[in-house]
Protein backbone atom coordinates (compact mmCIF):
# COMPACT_ATOMS: atom_id res chain seq x y z
CA UNK A 1 0.00 0.00 0.00
CA UNK A 2 1.21 3.50 -0.69
CA UNK A 3 1.79 5.82 2.22
CA UNK A 4 1.06 9.58 2.00
CA UNK A 5 4.73 10.29 1.20
CA UNK A 6 4.50 8.07 -1.87
CA UNK A 7 6.48 5.07 -0.64
CA UNK A 8 5.18 1.54 -1.02
CA UNK A 9 4.59 -1.05 1.66
CA UNK A 10 3.55 -4.66 1.28
CA UNK A 11 1.83 -7.37 3.28
CA UNK A 12 4.38 -7.41 6.11
CA UNK A 13 7.06 -7.22 3.41
CA UNK A 14 6.02 -10.64 2.04
CA UNK A 15 3.57 -9.92 -0.82
CA UNK A 16 4.43 -7.07 -3.21
CA UNK A 17 1.56 -4.70 -3.84
CA UNK A 18 1.72 -4.90 -7.63
CA UNK A 19 0.94 -7.50 -10.30
CA UNK A 20 2.48 -10.76 -9.17
CA UNK A 21 4.55 -13.37 -10.92
CA UNK A 22 3.61 -17.03 -10.53
CA UNK A 23 6.42 -17.59 -8.03
CA UNK A 24 5.24 -14.60 -5.97
CA UNK A 25 1.70 -15.96 -5.91
CA UNK A 26 2.90 -19.32 -4.57
CA UNK A 27 5.19 -17.65 -2.02
CA UNK A 28 2.43 -15.25 -1.03
CA UNK A 29 0.04 -18.09 -0.25
CA UNK A 30 2.60 -19.53 2.17
CA UNK A 31 3.27 -16.08 3.64
CA UNK A 32 -0.44 -15.58 4.30
CA UNK A 33 -0.53 -18.78 6.39
CA UNK A 34 2.57 -17.74 8.32
CA UNK A 35 1.45 -14.15 8.98
CA UNK A 36 -2.14 -14.94 10.01
CA UNK A 37 -2.08 -18.49 11.40
CA UNK A 38 -5.13 -18.13 13.64
CA UNK A 39 -7.43 -16.66 11.01
CA UNK A 40 -6.21 -18.99 8.25
CA UNK A 41 -5.53 -22.27 10.03
CA UNK A 42 -8.46 -21.89 12.41
CA UNK A 43 -10.94 -21.64 9.54
CA UNK A 44 -9.14 -24.39 7.63
CA UNK A 45 -9.20 -26.74 10.63
CA UNK A 46 -12.95 -26.35 10.99
CA UNK A 47 -13.70 -27.06 7.34
CA UNK A 48 -11.13 -29.86 7.04
CA UNK A 49 -12.52 -31.63 10.09
CA UNK A 50 -16.02 -31.62 8.63
CA UNK A 51 -14.82 -32.84 5.22
CA UNK A 52 -12.52 -35.59 6.48
CA UNK A 53 -14.90 -36.90 9.13
CA UNK A 54 -17.64 -37.04 6.49
CA UNK A 55 -15.28 -38.98 4.23
CA UNK A 56 -14.36 -41.42 6.99
CA UNK A 57 -18.00 -42.01 7.94
CA UNK A 58 -18.79 -42.67 4.28
CA UNK A 59 -15.85 -45.10 4.08
CA UNK A 60 -16.98 -46.95 7.20
CA UNK A 61 -20.55 -47.43 6.05
CA UNK A 62 -20.01 -47.65 2.30
CA UNK A 63 -18.17 -50.98 2.53
CA UNK A 64 -21.30 -52.71 3.81
CA UNK A 65 -22.02 -54.85 6.84
CA UNK A 66 -20.01 -57.83 5.66
CA UNK A 67 -16.76 -55.87 5.34
CA UNK A 68 -17.23 -53.23 8.00
CA UNK A 69 -14.80 -54.98 10.35
CA UNK A 70 -12.16 -55.40 7.64
CA UNK A 71 -10.94 -51.89 6.89
CA UNK A 72 -7.37 -53.11 6.28
CA UNK A 73 -4.72 -52.49 3.61
CA UNK A 74 -5.33 -55.93 2.09
CA UNK A 75 -9.06 -55.23 1.83
CA UNK A 76 -8.33 -51.82 0.26
CA UNK A 77 -6.29 -53.50 -2.49
CA UNK A 78 -9.13 -55.91 -3.25
CA UNK A 79 -11.77 -53.18 -3.44
CA UNK A 80 -10.47 -50.90 -6.19
CA UNK A 81 -13.95 -49.76 -7.23
CA UNK A 82 -14.97 -48.88 -3.71
CA UNK A 83 -11.72 -47.04 -3.08
CA UNK A 84 -12.09 -45.07 -6.32
CA UNK A 85 -15.63 -44.01 -5.39
CA UNK A 86 -14.61 -42.93 -1.90
CA UNK A 87 -11.56 -41.11 -3.27
CA UNK A 88 -13.68 -39.20 -5.78
CA UNK A 89 -16.14 -38.29 -3.02
CA UNK A 90 -13.30 -36.97 -0.86
CA UNK A 91 -11.80 -34.97 -3.73
CA UNK A 92 -15.13 -33.31 -4.50
CA UNK A 93 -15.56 -32.33 -0.85
CA UNK A 94 -11.99 -31.02 -0.73
CA UNK A 95 -12.48 -28.98 -3.91
CA UNK A 96 -15.62 -27.44 -2.41
CA UNK A 97 -13.72 -26.60 0.81
CA UNK A 98 -10.85 -25.00 -1.16
CA UNK A 99 -13.21 -22.70 -3.09
CA UNK A 100 -15.08 -21.82 0.10
CA UNK A 101 -11.86 -21.03 1.94
CA UNK A 102 -10.61 -18.95 -1.00
CA UNK A 103 -13.58 -16.65 -0.54
CA UNK A 104 -12.89 -16.36 3.19
CA UNK A 105 -9.22 -15.55 2.62
CA UNK A 106 -10.03 -12.66 0.28
CA UNK A 107 -10.64 -10.15 3.11
CA UNK A 108 -7.69 -11.56 5.09
CA UNK A 109 -5.28 -10.78 2.26
CA UNK A 110 -7.05 -7.49 1.47
CA UNK A 111 -6.80 -6.24 5.04
CA UNK A 112 -3.22 -7.41 5.16
CA UNK A 113 -2.42 -5.21 2.18
CA UNK A 114 -3.88 -2.31 4.17
CA UNK A 115 -1.67 -3.21 7.12
CA UNK A 116 -4.69 -4.02 9.30
CA UNK A 117 -4.65 -6.85 11.87
CA UNK A 118 -6.72 -9.87 10.85
CA UNK A 119 -7.77 -11.95 13.88
CA UNK A 120 -10.10 -14.91 13.46
CA UNK A 121 -13.07 -12.86 14.71
CA UNK A 122 -12.45 -10.19 12.06
CA UNK A 123 -12.20 -12.79 9.30
CA UNK A 124 -15.54 -14.26 10.40
CA UNK A 125 -17.19 -10.81 10.53
CA UNK A 126 -16.08 -10.12 6.97
CA UNK A 127 -17.47 -13.41 5.68
CA UNK A 128 -20.63 -13.90 7.74
CA UNK A 129 -22.95 -11.46 5.87
CA UNK A 130 -22.10 -13.17 2.58
CA UNK A 131 -21.67 -16.72 3.82
CA UNK A 132 -24.66 -18.31 2.07
CA UNK A 133 -23.87 -16.59 -1.22
CA UNK A 134 -20.31 -17.87 -0.86
CA UNK A 135 -21.58 -21.41 -0.19
CA UNK A 136 -23.81 -21.21 -3.26
CA UNK A 137 -20.95 -19.96 -5.39
CA UNK A 138 -18.65 -22.71 -4.12
CA UNK A 139 -21.31 -25.30 -5.00
CA UNK A 140 -21.66 -23.92 -8.53
CA UNK A 141 -17.88 -23.76 -9.05
CA UNK A 142 -17.57 -27.37 -7.83
CA UNK A 143 -20.57 -28.94 -9.54
CA UNK A 144 -20.55 -27.23 -12.95
CA UNK A 145 -17.12 -28.68 -13.86
CA UNK A 146 -18.34 -32.11 -12.72
CA UNK A 147 -21.33 -31.68 -15.00
CA UNK A 148 -18.89 -30.82 -17.79
CA UNK A 149 -17.11 -34.10 -17.07
CA UNK A 150 -20.32 -36.14 -17.01
CA UNK A 151 -22.04 -34.89 -20.19
CA UNK A 152 -19.46 -36.19 -22.74
CA UNK A 153 -19.43 -39.59 -21.00
CA UNK A 154 -23.20 -40.11 -21.24
CA UNK A 155 -22.96 -41.98 -24.59
CA UNK A 156 -20.55 -44.46 -23.01
CA UNK A 157 -22.89 -45.01 -20.06
CA UNK A 158 -25.83 -45.46 -22.45
CA UNK A 159 -23.95 -48.02 -24.56
CA UNK A 160 -22.99 -49.98 -21.45
CA UNK A 161 -26.57 -49.91 -20.14
CA UNK A 162 -28.09 -51.31 -23.36
CA UNK A 163 -25.27 -53.81 -23.89
CA UNK A 164 -24.22 -52.23 -27.19
CA UNK A 165 -21.37 -53.65 -29.32
CA UNK A 166 -17.97 -53.38 -27.67
CA UNK A 167 -16.60 -51.18 -30.46
CA UNK A 168 -19.21 -48.49 -29.84
CA UNK A 169 -18.47 -48.49 -26.11
CA UNK A 170 -14.72 -48.26 -26.61
CA UNK A 171 -15.04 -45.45 -29.16
CA UNK A 172 -17.38 -43.45 -26.95
CA UNK A 173 -15.00 -43.91 -24.00
CA UNK A 174 -11.92 -42.89 -25.99
CA UNK A 175 -13.65 -39.69 -27.13
CA UNK A 176 -15.90 -38.95 -24.16
CA UNK A 177 -13.56 -39.26 -21.16
CA UNK A 178 -10.71 -37.05 -22.49
CA UNK A 179 -13.25 -34.50 -23.73
CA UNK A 180 -14.98 -34.52 -20.35
CA UNK A 181 -11.69 -34.07 -18.49
CA UNK A 182 -10.72 -31.11 -20.68
CA UNK A 183 -14.14 -29.52 -20.26
CA UNK A 184 -14.04 -30.01 -16.49
CA UNK A 185 -10.64 -28.33 -16.15
CA UNK A 186 -11.62 -25.48 -18.50
CA UNK A 187 -14.79 -24.70 -16.56
CA UNK A 188 -13.10 -24.88 -13.16
CA UNK A 189 -10.32 -22.48 -14.13
CA UNK A 190 -12.84 -20.14 -15.75
CA UNK A 191 -15.06 -19.95 -12.65
CA UNK A 192 -12.73 -20.40 -9.69
CA UNK A 193 -12.09 -16.65 -9.18
CA UNK A 194 -15.77 -16.15 -8.34
CA UNK A 195 -15.30 -17.02 -4.66
CA UNK A 196 -13.20 -13.97 -3.65
CA UNK A 197 -15.49 -11.72 -5.72
CA UNK A 198 -18.53 -12.74 -3.63
CA UNK A 199 -16.96 -11.48 -0.40
CA UNK A 200 -14.75 -8.59 -1.49
CA UNK A 201 -17.13 -7.12 -4.09
CA UNK A 202 -20.38 -8.14 -2.35
CA UNK A 203 -21.55 -9.81 -5.53
CA UNK A 204 -24.48 -12.18 -5.96
CA UNK A 205 -23.79 -15.72 -7.12
CA UNK A 206 -24.53 -14.84 -10.75
CA UNK A 207 -22.60 -11.59 -10.55
CA UNK A 208 -19.58 -13.35 -9.07
CA UNK A 209 -19.57 -15.93 -11.87
CA UNK A 210 -19.71 -13.14 -14.47
CA UNK A 211 -16.84 -11.37 -12.72
CA UNK A 212 -14.79 -14.57 -12.71
CA UNK A 213 -15.34 -14.97 -16.44
CA UNK A 214 -14.38 -11.34 -17.10
CA UNK A 215 -11.21 -11.61 -15.01
CA UNK A 216 -10.12 -14.96 -16.49
CA UNK A 217 -10.74 -13.96 -20.09
CA UNK A 218 -7.48 -13.83 -22.00
CA UNK A 219 -5.42 -15.24 -19.11
CA UNK A 220 -6.81 -18.77 -18.87
CA UNK A 221 -3.49 -20.53 -19.43
CA UNK A 222 -1.70 -18.48 -16.80
CA UNK A 223 -4.43 -19.21 -14.26
CA UNK A 224 -4.37 -22.90 -15.19
CA UNK A 225 -0.59 -23.15 -14.84
CA UNK A 226 -0.61 -21.48 -11.42
CA UNK A 227 -3.42 -23.71 -10.14
CA UNK A 228 -1.66 -26.81 -11.50
CA UNK A 229 1.57 -25.96 -9.67
CA UNK A 230 -0.41 -25.36 -6.47
CA UNK A 231 -2.16 -28.73 -6.82
CA UNK A 232 1.16 -30.53 -7.33
CA UNK A 233 2.52 -28.97 -4.14
CA UNK A 234 -0.69 -29.89 -2.33
CA UNK A 235 -0.58 -33.51 -3.48
CA UNK A 236 3.04 -33.92 -2.41
CA UNK A 237 2.54 -32.30 0.99
CA UNK A 238 -0.95 -33.63 1.73
CA UNK A 239 -0.64 -37.20 0.49
CA UNK A 240 3.02 -37.87 1.35
CA UNK A 241 5.09 -35.56 3.54
CA UNK A 242 2.59 -34.66 6.27
CA UNK A 243 0.84 -38.03 6.38
CA UNK A 244 3.91 -40.26 6.67
CA UNK A 245 4.00 -40.22 10.52
CA UNK A 246 0.36 -41.28 10.72
CA UNK A 247 0.83 -44.01 8.11
CA UNK A 248 3.75 -45.37 10.14
CA UNK A 249 1.56 -45.44 13.24
CA UNK A 250 -1.07 -47.41 11.33
CA UNK A 251 1.46 -49.93 10.05
CA UNK A 252 3.18 -50.38 13.42
CA UNK A 253 0.16 -50.65 15.70
CA UNK A 254 -2.53 -52.01 13.39
CA UNK A 255 -0.49 -53.90 10.78
CA UNK A 256 -1.95 -55.55 7.72
CA UNK A 257 -4.30 -57.98 9.49
CA UNK A 258 -6.13 -55.61 11.83
CA UNK A 259 -9.74 -56.57 11.91
CA UNK A 260 -9.28 -59.78 9.87
CA UNK A 261 -10.28 -61.89 12.87
CA UNK A 262 -13.32 -59.80 13.65
CA UNK A 263 -11.46 -57.25 15.76
CA UNK A 264 -13.67 -54.37 14.73
CA UNK A 265 -12.28 -52.04 17.38
CA UNK A 266 -8.78 -52.20 15.89
CA UNK A 267 -10.14 -51.47 12.44
CA UNK A 268 -12.07 -48.52 13.83
CA UNK A 269 -8.96 -47.19 15.60
CA UNK A 270 -6.95 -47.55 12.39
CA UNK A 271 -9.56 -45.53 10.53
CA UNK A 272 -9.52 -42.92 13.32
CA UNK A 273 -5.72 -42.53 13.06
CA UNK A 274 -6.00 -42.18 9.30
CA UNK A 275 -8.71 -39.54 9.73
CA UNK A 276 -6.58 -37.53 12.17
CA UNK A 277 -3.68 -37.70 9.72
CA UNK A 278 -5.83 -36.38 6.91
CA UNK A 279 -7.19 -33.59 9.11
CA UNK A 280 -3.68 -32.46 10.11
CA UNK A 281 -2.26 -32.59 6.58
CA UNK A 282 -5.22 -30.95 4.83
CA UNK A 283 -5.51 -28.25 7.49
CA UNK A 284 -2.06 -27.09 6.39
CA UNK A 285 -2.30 -27.58 2.62
CA UNK A 286 -5.90 -26.44 2.06
CA UNK A 287 -5.14 -22.75 2.83
CA UNK A 288 -2.25 -22.90 0.36
CA UNK A 289 -4.56 -23.74 -2.55
CA UNK A 290 -7.15 -21.26 -1.33
CA UNK A 291 -4.52 -18.53 -0.92
CA UNK A 292 -3.31 -19.11 -4.47
CA UNK A 293 -6.87 -18.60 -5.76
CA UNK A 294 -7.32 -15.41 -3.71
CA UNK A 295 -3.98 -14.02 -4.92
CA UNK A 296 -4.83 -14.93 -8.52
CA UNK A 297 -8.00 -12.86 -8.14
CA UNK A 298 -5.96 -9.97 -6.74
CA UNK A 299 -3.39 -10.25 -9.54
CA UNK A 300 -6.03 -10.34 -12.27
CA UNK A 301 -7.73 -7.22 -10.91
CA UNK A 302 -4.44 -5.35 -10.75
CA UNK A 303 -3.54 -6.33 -14.30
CA UNK A 304 -6.95 -5.80 -15.88
CA UNK A 305 -8.39 -2.95 -13.79
CA UNK A 306 -5.37 -1.29 -12.17
CA UNK A 307 -6.59 -2.15 -8.66
CA UNK A 308 -3.23 -1.39 -7.07
CA UNK A 309 -3.19 2.11 -8.61
CA UNK A 310 -6.76 2.74 -7.47
CA UNK A 311 -6.08 1.59 -3.90
CA UNK A 312 -2.92 3.67 -3.69
CA UNK A 313 -4.80 6.76 -4.81
CA UNK A 314 -7.59 6.17 -2.29
CA UNK A 315 -5.07 5.52 0.48
CA UNK A 316 -3.33 8.83 -0.14
CA UNK A 317 -6.67 10.70 -0.29
CA UNK A 318 -7.89 9.02 2.91
CA UNK A 319 -4.65 9.79 4.74
CA UNK A 320 -4.75 13.43 3.60
CA UNK A 321 -8.37 13.80 4.75
CA UNK A 322 -7.54 12.49 8.23
CA UNK A 323 -4.38 14.45 8.96
CA UNK A 324 -4.39 17.70 10.91
CA UNK A 325 -6.14 20.96 10.04
CA UNK A 326 -6.77 21.94 6.47
CA UNK A 327 -3.77 23.90 5.23
CA UNK A 328 -4.23 27.70 5.49
CA UNK A 329 -7.60 27.54 7.28
CA UNK A 330 -6.87 26.38 10.82
CA UNK A 331 -10.01 24.25 10.63
CA UNK A 332 -10.29 20.51 11.08
CA UNK A 333 -11.24 18.50 7.99
CA UNK A 334 -14.98 18.40 7.39
CA UNK A 335 -17.09 15.29 7.31
CA UNK A 336 -19.53 14.27 4.63
CA UNK A 337 -22.27 16.62 5.94
CA UNK A 338 -19.99 19.61 6.55
CA UNK A 339 -19.44 18.98 10.28
CA UNK A 340 -15.95 19.02 11.74
CA UNK A 341 -14.51 15.53 11.88
CA UNK A 342 -13.53 15.11 15.50
CA UNK A 343 -14.06 12.38 18.00
CA UNK A 344 -17.31 10.60 17.20
CA UNK A 345 -17.94 12.73 14.10
CA UNK A 346 -17.25 9.94 11.61
CA UNK A 347 -19.75 7.19 12.33
CA UNK A 348 -19.23 5.19 9.19
CA UNK A 349 -18.63 1.50 9.62
CA UNK A 350 -14.94 0.84 8.86
CA UNK A 351 -15.98 -2.44 7.25
CA UNK A 352 -18.10 -0.53 4.73
CA UNK A 353 -15.15 1.72 3.96
CA UNK A 354 -12.87 -1.27 3.44
CA UNK A 355 -15.20 -3.13 1.09
CA UNK A 356 -15.99 0.00 -0.94
CA UNK A 357 -12.37 0.07 -2.10
CA UNK A 358 -12.78 -3.37 -3.65
CA UNK A 359 -15.86 -2.62 -5.72
CA UNK A 360 -15.26 -3.15 -9.45
CA UNK A 361 -14.83 0.01 -11.50
CA UNK A 362 -17.72 1.33 -13.55
CA UNK A 363 -17.49 0.46 -17.26
CA UNK A 364 -15.56 3.13 -19.08
CA UNK A 365 -13.69 3.59 -22.31
CA UNK A 366 -9.93 3.58 -22.00
CA UNK A 367 -7.57 5.33 -24.34
CA UNK A 368 -5.29 2.30 -24.22
CA UNK A 369 -4.52 -0.83 -22.19
CA UNK A 370 -3.18 -0.66 -18.66
CA UNK A 371 0.62 -1.11 -18.42
CA UNK A 372 0.09 -4.60 -16.97
CA UNK A 373 -2.05 -5.72 -19.94
CA UNK A 374 0.65 -5.04 -22.53
CA UNK A 375 2.64 -8.11 -21.55
CA UNK A 376 5.60 -6.12 -20.24
CA UNK A 377 5.01 -7.30 -16.68
CA UNK A 378 5.60 -10.96 -15.75
Q: What is the pLDDT of residues 289-315, one digit of tens each?
A: 999 999 999 999 888 888 877 777 776
Q: H-type helices in 63-165, by residue range?
A: 73-78, 80-113, 120-127, 131-150, 154-161
Are 193 and 209 contacting, i.e. CB atoms less than 8 angstroms apart?
Answer: no
218-236 pLDDT, tens digit per residue, is: 889 999 999 999 988 888 8
Reported confidence tier of residue 245, pLDDT bands at 50, 70, 90: confident
User: For position 368, what pLDDT does the model report?
Assistant: 52
Task: Collapse the DSSP code of 340 into the 3-class scheme (helix H, G, I; strand E, B; otherwise coil) and give the result.
Answer: strand
Number of domains in the chain: 1
User: For position 255, what pLDDT does the model report?
Assistant: 60
DSSP readout, 10-29? -BTTTB-SS---HHHHHHHH
How many residues does this entry show for the chain?
Answer: 378
Q: Is 269 contained in some domain?
A: yes
User: For position 169, what pLDDT does the model report?
Assistant: 78
Q: Is 216 contained in some domain?
A: yes
User: Residue 201's beta-bridge partner residues?
Assistant: none
Distance of CA 231 to the CA centre of its chain: 11
Kindly tell me if the per-residue pLDDT of 370 is higher than 60: no
DSSP readout, 308-341? HHHHHHHHHHHHHHHSSSPTTT-PPPB-TTS-B-
Q: Is 36 contained in some domain?
A: yes
Domain that holds residue 60: 22-313
User: For position 335, what pLDDT does the model report?
Assistant: 44
Reported confidence tier of residue 369, pLDDT bands at 50, 70, 90: low
Q: Is 103 contained in some domain?
A: yes
Q: Tell me which range, 77-81, 102-106, 266-270, is most confidently predicted by mean pLDDT.
A: 102-106
Q: Is 339 contained in some domain?
A: no
The pLDDT mean for the chain works out to 76
Are 67 and 59 contacting, i.e. CB atoms less than 8 angstroms apart?
Answer: no
User: For position 10, what pLDDT does the model report?
Assistant: 54
Q: What is the mean pLDDT of residues 162-176?
A: 82
26-55 pLDDT, tens digit per residue, is: 988 988 888 888 888 888 998 889 888 887
Q: Is 256 contained in some domain?
A: yes
Q: Is 4 contained in some domain?
A: no
Q: Is 260 contained in some domain?
A: yes
Burial of 352: CB neighbours in 10 Å, binned 0-12, 13-18, 19+: exposed
Kindly tell me if the per-residue pLDDT of 177 is higher than 70: yes
Amino acid sequence: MATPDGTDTALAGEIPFRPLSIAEILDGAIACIRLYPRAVLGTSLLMTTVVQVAGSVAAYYFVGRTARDEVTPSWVVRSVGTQFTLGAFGLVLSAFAIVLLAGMLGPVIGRGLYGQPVPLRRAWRDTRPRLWRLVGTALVVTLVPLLGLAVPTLPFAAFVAVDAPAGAGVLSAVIGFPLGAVLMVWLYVLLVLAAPAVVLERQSVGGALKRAYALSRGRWWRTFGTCLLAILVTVFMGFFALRIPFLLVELIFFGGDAGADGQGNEALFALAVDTVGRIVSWTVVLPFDAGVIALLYLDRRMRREGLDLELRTRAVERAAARTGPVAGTGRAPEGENGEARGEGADRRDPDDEFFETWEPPAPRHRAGPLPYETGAMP
